[in-house]
């Protein structure tokens, strides 16, 4: 690939991200995470916290329940199904929302999991198993 073509593609990418930021869809440099938060907030009628770098939670509902939103996007080299979360993070939230997108940015899984059901392993990872999908899938 020629350097001019590479630069042209990067400029297109920058312009796309800027447009999404102007629309309030992307709020940081984490495009996948921000898009997942946007989808979850619209589908579940949640309000996103003002700061996109809020440490404790990402959104809240009309009853002031707090949500942490985890988004994974499938690619040719990556199949979602595991997400990171620390046990201490669960202390400040009520639910974990899991958003899974396919390689074309289509929503394929949306789960609303009570924090009591989240059991991180010793590496602070949660494996998304069939039981969680069946019990807490909202799609």
For the segment 126-135, what is each residue's pLDDT rounded down to a tens digit? 888 888 889 9
Q: What is the pTM of this model?
A: 0.89
Largest CA-CA distance found in the chain, in angstroms, rounded: 54
Please name the fold of domain 30-136. Answer: Trna Endonuclease; Chain: A, domain 1 (3.40.1350)
pLDDT at 52 (0 to 100): 60
What confidence tens digit (pLDDT) does each residue in 17-75 have?
999 999 999 999 899 999 999 999 999 999 999 876 667 899 999 999 999 999 999 88
| Rounded CA separation 120/86 (Å) | 7
Residue with tokens 């929503």: 107
| Rounded CA separation 131/3 (Å) | 48
């Amino acid at each position: 690939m020629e350097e001019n073509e590479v630069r042209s593609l990067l400029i297109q990418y920058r312009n796309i991200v800027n447009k999404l930021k102007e629309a309030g869809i992307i709020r940081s440099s984490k495009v996948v995470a921000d898009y997942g938060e946007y989808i979850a907030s619209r589908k579940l009628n949640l309000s996103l916290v003002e700061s996109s770098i809020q440490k404790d939670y990402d959104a809240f509902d009309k009853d002031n329940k707090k949500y942490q939103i985890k988004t994974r996007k499938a690619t040719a080299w990556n199949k979602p199904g595991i997400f990171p979360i620390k046990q201490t993070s669960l202390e400040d939230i009520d639910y974990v929302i899991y958003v899974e997108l396919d390689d074309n940015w289509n929503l394929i899984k949306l789960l609303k999991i009570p924090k009591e059901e989240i059991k991180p392993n010793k590496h602070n990872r949660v494996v998304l198993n069939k039981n969680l999908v069946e019990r807490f899938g909202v799609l």
